[in-house]
Structure 1
Amino acid sequence: MTADRAAALLGRIRRARGARVTRRALAVDLVADPRHLDKKIATVERRVSDALSDSEPALLRLPGVGPILAARSIDRVGSLDRFPDASHFASRCGTASIEVSSGDVTRHRLSRAGDRQLNRALHLIAFSQVRCHAPARTYYQYKRAAGKRHREAMRCLKRRLVVYCHLTADPRAAAHAAT
């Protein structure tokens, strides 16, 4: 139930007497706080979205990337000049895998190096794409069918995400990142 729906339900309650007056007053106070916070969140998201549409419109077109994740990614990436190619970017994000082999078994695991917050943003983007974006879901299922575990398939998808390409695709983004 949303705060607006709860407020609408409270508005339908007729005048009460006795203890019901106190309960209704407490309920109105409890509903007012989430409504106020919802309005503040919407305002902040709108401001961030407006700022990003001026500087990073290509990143916002990537499925699964909203204004908050885009802002978090841009903040954590910093200057794009530090990354000569997508492999260096993947290493910085912590999505470049590390080979851990034992005998005949060759495995790769997630690198604990890199920016964990940026890795988390990429994880949220990948998770959203697996749920709502058909090509990402197909790629994830392909990796699972190839014998990868869930975490390994998600790591492959995070590595495949084209966040670096979207950041470098827009000339305004490159100019903004240089400043």
Structure 2
Amino acid sequence: MALWTARRHQALDAEIGPPVKQADLAMPELFGIGPETVGQLLASAGDNPERMWSERAFAHLAGVAPIPASAGHTHRHRLNRDGDRAANNALHAIVLVRMRFDECTRACVERRAKEGLSKEDIVRWLKRIVAREAHRALTGTPTTHITQSNLAPAV
């Protein structure tokens, strides 16, 4: 099984890599984003170009837009379940890679956990940040990597 997965990975790299490089996007430079995830996000964006007009619209397209899910005195959000599930899966894979290998993201995850957020809430928060970065890369807007300053909690 592992050999098949490795061969499939190499085949996808060979198949998807050249078109991604031809697109000349900033996405492959972002941490945790490989040719497969770039290809999926390009396919999702290409199928729905009219839904790329803002970061918010892209977040809805990818199913990572926050929606109020409060009850009583609890104020929280959940992610929109609508949208392209494959794009959402690509964003989830990017978040998992960053949580495992990016020191800055790991520090932010620890900080947010100390603030009382569950791992599920932290993943939602990170998906929204990655969607913002992906939208900027897809539309050519300048983007930055996750830093302590741009991971400050939203007010």
For Structure 1 versus Structure 2, the TM-score category normalised by the shorter chain is 0.7 to 0.9
How far is 1:80 from its partner?
A: 4.3
User: Aligned partners of 2:25, 2:100: CA distance in 1, in Å?
Assistant: 23
Length-normalised TM-score, structure 1: 0.68
Identity of aligned residues (%): 26
Matching residue's letter, 1:152: D
1:109 aligns with 2:81: no
Out of 33, 37, 40, which is 1:65 matched to? 33
**Candidates 55, 61, 65, aligned match of 1:86:** 55
1:138/1:41 Cα in 2 relative to 1: closer, same or farther (>3 Å)? closer
Shift of the alpha carbon at 1:135? 2.0
| Residues 168, 98 of structure 1: alpha-carbon distance in 2 compared, 3 angstrom cutoff | same
Q: CA deviation at 1:95?
A: 0.9
* 1:123 aligned partner: 92
Structure (1 or 2) with the larger CA radius of gyration: 1
Aligned length: 139
Q: Could you tell me whether the CA contact under 8 Å between 2:45 and 2:52 is conserved in 1?
A: no
Which of these residues, 40, 46, 58, is aligned with residue 14 of structure 2?
46
Q: What stretches of structure 2 of length at least 5 have no aligned partner?
A: 142-155
Choose between structure 1 and 2: higher helix proportion: 1
1:98 deviation in Å? 1.3
Alignment of 1:12-27 (within 5 A): none
* In 2: Cα distance, 1:38 partner to 1:111 partner: 33
Which residue of 127, 132, 147 corresponds with 1:158? Answer: 127
Residue in structure 1 matching 2:102, options 113, 133, 143:
133
Q: Which stretches of structure 1, 4 residues or longer, exceed 4 Å deviation after superposition?
A: 37-41
**Residue deviations 1:121-177 (CA, integer Å, cap 9, x gap):** 10000110111112222222222222111111001011011111111227xxxxxxx
Q: Which runs of 5 or more structure 1 residues have no equivalent in the other structure? A: 4-33, 171-179
Q: Secondary structure at the match of 1:109?
A: strand
TM-score where L is the length of structure 2: 0.78
1:24 matched to which residue of 2? none
Match of 1:145 among 114, 120, 129: 114
Change (3 A) 1:41 1:92: closer
In the superposition, relative to structure 1, how do residues 91 and 44 fare at CA in structure 2: closer, same or farther (>3 Å)? closer
The RMSD of aligned alpha carbons is: 2.5
| Contact 1:122–1:158 (Cα < 8 Å) also in 2 | yes
